[in-house]
Amino acid sequence: MDGRKPPRPERRPPEPPPPPWAADPEGLLVSRPGAVRMALTGGIASGKSTVAELLRTFGARVIDFDLLAREALAPEGACFDAARGLFGPRSVRGDGTLDRALVARKVFKDEGLRLELEALVHPYTWRRMLEELEGMREAPFVLADIPLLFEARLHTLFRPTVLCFASPAVQFKRLRDRDASLSGRAARRILRSQLPPAEKLRLADCVISNDGPLKDTIRQARALWDRLTAPDAGPPGRCQAPPPA
């Protein structure tokens, strides 16, 4: 031995607390033996919806935050009038609905607008999630599908958190394939608006890689499901779904 002290482990800064409106006073989000309460997230064009649907077919009850956000912004929704005031009268189409494509273009160009919209919609979706969870108290597996889980600082309220991961190059290609009118510059702007992939990988409890073929995604989702629902499964913790073969 050379007498030198081993380096001290790097201290991570404490995670910022969730926003004030995000609370779970009745413990509806707490996983326990026989009752998994999981959050799934992933960047745009990462294949998150595919993974959510796979877990639904395995038996999970799914609460989709995108659907709750659409509910909030529907013509009779709780956030419609405020959103119309935020984006102007031209944001409403002839049929009385919000022009989602126009809104998307504006929020990806203007971070201030995006944050204002999220401040309107996120508290509503959280309240609706708790309402749905109340009716699922006895469900053995509930999955909250939350696109901006880490960006909205909601991840500390769930265990486990699962990231559906696709590399930026794959996301970029999928975005362009999905919408031929989307320029490369616009696609890159959309990707930059979300948390960097390395930070998401650091924060996630579990990761499903979705760069490869569908069969690999299915295998990883099934392995994760089997692990979390095993009769002798312990408290949910950090894990890594098996990588593609």
Task: Give the pLDDT confidence score for residue 193 in this predicted structure.
Answer: 87
- Kindly state the DSSP code that residue 96 receives in the 8-state scheme: S
Dihedral sign for Cα atoms in the order 103, 108, 113, 115: positive
List the one residue out of 141, 149, 163 whose CA is nearest residue 208: 163
Helix (H) or strand (E) holding 36: strand 36-42
How many angstroms separate the CA atoms of 88 and 221, rounded?
A: 42
Which residues are bridge partners to 144 per DSSP?
Answer: 39, 63
Helix (H) or strand (E) holding 228: helix 214-229
Task: Give the pLDDT confidence score for residue 235 in this predicted structure.
Answer: 55
Domain boundary assignment for the chain: 36-229
Q: Are 52 and 127 in contact (CB under 8 A)?
A: no
Task: Give the pLDDT confidence score for residue 32 in this predicted structure.
Answer: 86
Ranges of the chain whose pLDDT falls below 70: 1-13, 234-245
- Kindly state the DSSP code that residue 156 receives in the 8-state scheme: G
- Residue for token digits 């779904």? 241
The amino acid that residue 91 corresponds to is: S
55 in helix, strand or coil? helix
pLDDT tens digits, 23-65: 999 999 999 888 999 999 999 999 999 999 999 999 999 999 9
CATH homologous superfamily for the domain 36-229: P-loop containing nucleotide triphosphate hydrolases (3.40.50.300)
Helix (H) or strand (E) holding 61: strand 61-64
How many angstroms separate the CA atoms of 208 and 214, rounded?
A: 12
Q: Are 173 and 217 in contact (CB under 8 A)?
A: no
Q: Are 140 and 230 in contact (CB under 8 A)?
A: no
Residues 6 or more apart whose Cβ sits within 8 Å of residue 78: 72, 124
Task: Give the pLDDT confidence score for residue 244 in this predicted structure.
Answer: 41
List the one residue out of 77, 60, 59 whose CA is nearest residue 68: 77
Task: Give the pLDDT confidence score for residue 33 in this predicted structure.
Answer: 85
